[in-house]
Structure 1
Amino acid sequence: MTHTSTLDRAATAFATLGPVGHLPKAPGTWGSAVAVIAAPFLFLPFSPLTRCIILAALFVVGGLASGRAETVIGSKDPGCVIIDEVLGQWMVFALFPIMTTWQILLGFALFRLFDITKPWPVHSAETWLPGGFGVMIDDLLAGCYAALCMWGARHAYLAWIAPMMH
C-alpha cells in the first residue's frame, strides 16, 4: 500500500475498521464485536425505519470501500475487510424496537454462527454482485438468518416461557 491515494487509504481504513481488521486471529469476530459495542450508540437509538436507511447506506458505502480495499490489498474478500460484519451484525438488530443485553449477545452468537457456517444461499451470495458488494451481501444474508432466529426465539419466549413465569 505504498503508492496509494488518500481515497484508497480512507476506503481501506473504513473497510478494515482501521486497525481492528488487522488484529490477530478471527478478524470477522473482532468486527462483529465492534459492531455490537457500537450498536447501542450508533444504531439502536434510532427507529427501525432509520436503521434500515443506515443499513442501506452502509451497504453502499461499505461495498464501495470494500471493492477499493480489494484492489489496494490485491486480494478478493481479504480477511482484514470487516465492514461487512458491521452490516450483518446490525441487520440482526434492525427490526427490534428494544434490545436487552441478553438479546444483543444472542444476536452476536447467531450472526457469527451463520457467518461462519454460511448455509445456503449465504455461501454463494458473494458471487451474485460484483466487487465489494459481493463482500457485503453474504453477511447481510447471514444477518437475516440470525434475525429470523431472534424473532423465533422472542416469539417462543413470549408465547410459552413468559406466561409460565407469572
Structure 2
Amino acid sequence: MSAKKILTVEQRRALLATPAGWLACGFGSGLTPVAQGTFGSLAALLPWLWLRELSLPWYGVVLVLGFVIGVWACNVAGRAIGVDDHRSIVWDEFIGQWIALIPALLAPWWIVVAGFALFRLFDVWKPWPIRWLDRHLKGGLGVMVDDVVAGIFAAIVLGVLMRLLA
C-alpha cells in the first residue's frame, strides 16, 4: 500500500486498537481523508494552549518525552497498518508544531498563526536536510525526526521574523 492512500477499515481498526495508535494518529486528527498533516498540526494547537503556560524547561521536558514516546507510538502504529510513515500518523506534526511555536510562547496571536504556517511550509516543502531524513530514516524515528527538523527550521525563521518586527 502506498503511503498516500486512505486507510482501509482493517488498518483503521488496527491503528485505533492500541494507545500507541491513538497517539500516533493524533487522537484521530490524522484520520481525515485529506490534509492529514494540516489537521494534525491544527489539533496540536489545542494542547499547546496549555503547554505554553509551562516554564521553558518544563516545555522542553514535554517535547523530549513527546518525541521519545512518539518514536515508540509511530513505530507500533506503522507496524499495525503496514506502512512506516502513513499520512494518518501525525504525532510527528504535534511535536514539530510545538517546536515551531517555541518563539511564540509569550507572543501575540498572529505569531502563533505565523508559526503554524511556517511549520506547515517546512513540513510540506521538505528542504534539505528534511527531505533526506524523510527518505533515509525508517520506523518511528524516521517518522519523528523530519518533523522535528521542520519545527526547528520554522522556529528559527519565526524567531528572526519576531526580532525584525520588534
- TM beyond 0.5: yes
CA distance in 1, matches of 2:15, 2:141: 21
5+ long unaligned stretches in structure 2: 1-9
Q: Among residues 24, 27, 31, which one is paired with 2:33 in the alignment?
A: 24
Q: Among residues 143, 149, 157, which one is paired with 2:151 in the alignment?
A: 143
Q: Among residues 44, 48, 57, which one is paired with 1:35 in the alignment?
A: 44
The residue number in structure 2 matching 1:92 is: 100
CA distance in 1, matches of 2:113, 2:138: 32
The residue number in structure 2 matching 1:60 is: 68
- Tell me the C-alpha RMSD between the 2 structures: 2.1
Identity of aligned residues (%): 33
Q: Among residues 135, 139, 162, which one is paired with 1:131 in the alignment?
A: 139
CA distance in 2, matches of 1:147, 1:132: 23
The alignment partner of 1:154 has SS state of helix
Q: Among residues 117, 130, 147, which one is paired with 1:122 in the alignment?
A: 130
CA distance in 2, matches of 1:19, 1:4: 13
Q: State the Cα deviation string for residues 17-63 of structure 1 (Å, max 9, x = none).
A: 2321111210000000011232112x101111111111110110011
CA distance in 2, matches of 1:76, 1:157: 40
CA distance in 2, matches of 1:76, 1:82: 12
The residue number in structure 2 matching 1:112 is: 120
Q: How many matched pairs?
A: 156
Task: Tell me the amino acid that sits aligned with residue 14 of structure 1.
Answer: L
Q: TM-score, normalised by structure 2?
A: 0.86
The residue number in structure 2 matching 1:13 is: 22
Task: Tell me the amino acid that sits aligned with residue 116 of structure 2.
Answer: F
